[in-house]
């Protein structure tokens, strides 16, 4: 079932079976509308020190504020597993070029340079035939918990 980006629950709270850790995720719709295939990007930032968790999360929230104006952005879940010092995003894009434009955005580059030494970042992308928020979130959650063998082992470091 296709989802409209502007009709998705803004807050998701859950515990995946695999790790039983609380996940908090906030949805923000982008300006683009999904029409056919979409690109999904998942990032997972495992921080080393507890004192960096809040600072990293605040930077993510600041980037999230710009989401409604990013070309090609369909939407974003900014997520955190606070007890395990992990946070990241599940973003949905119209094209690879749209994702690359965001990755090269000076504001994003500056934050990544400032925080890259504070932990380990992994990421993965895949195409899906249509924008189905529930299916995309479930696939991302399986990847993040290691519950899906193929997805969990397809992670690539950046």
9 within domain boundaries? yes
158 within domain boundaries? no
115 within domain boundaries? yes
The single residue listed with the structure tokens 């859950």 is 14
Report the predicted TM-score, pTM, of the whole model to 2 decimal places. 0.83
Token output for 81: 């597993």
**E strand or H helix that includes residue 7:** none
**E strand or H helix that includes residue 77:** strand 73-81
128 within domain boundaries? yes
157 within domain boundaries? no
pLDDT digits (tens, 9 = 90+) for 30-81: 999 999 999 999 999 999 999 898 889 899 899 999 999 999 999 999 998 8
Q: Based on the structure, what is the number of domains in the chain?
A: 1
Range of the domain at 128: 5-150
Order of strands, edge to edge, in the sheet holding 73-81? 11-15, 22-29, 73-81, 86-93, 38-47, 119-128, 156-157
Q: Domain containing 123 — which CATH number? A: 3.30.70.100
Mean pLDDT over 83-96 rounds to 94
156 within domain boundaries? no
38 within domain boundaries? yes
81 within domain boundaries? yes
């Amino acid at each position: 079932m296709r989802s409209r980006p502007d009709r998705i629950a803004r807050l998701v709270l859950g515990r995946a079976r695999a790790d039983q850790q609380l996940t908090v995720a906030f949805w923000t719709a982008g300006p683009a509308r999904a029409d056919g295939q979409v690109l999904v990007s998942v990032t997972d930032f495992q921080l080393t020190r507890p004192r960096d968790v809040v600072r990293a999360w605040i930077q993510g929230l600041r980037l999230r504020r710009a989401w409604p104006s990013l070309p090609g952005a369909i939407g974003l879940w900014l997520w955190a597993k606070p007890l395990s010092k992990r946070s990241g995003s599940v973003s949905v894009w119209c094209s690879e070029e749209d994702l690359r434009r965001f990755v090269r955005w000076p504001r994003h580059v500056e934050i990544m340079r400032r925080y890259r030494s504070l932990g380990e970042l992994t990421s993965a992308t895949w195409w899906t035939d249509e924008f189905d928020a529930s299916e995309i979130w479930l696939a991302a959650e399986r990847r993040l918990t290691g519950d899906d063998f193929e997805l969990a082992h397809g992670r690539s470091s950046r």
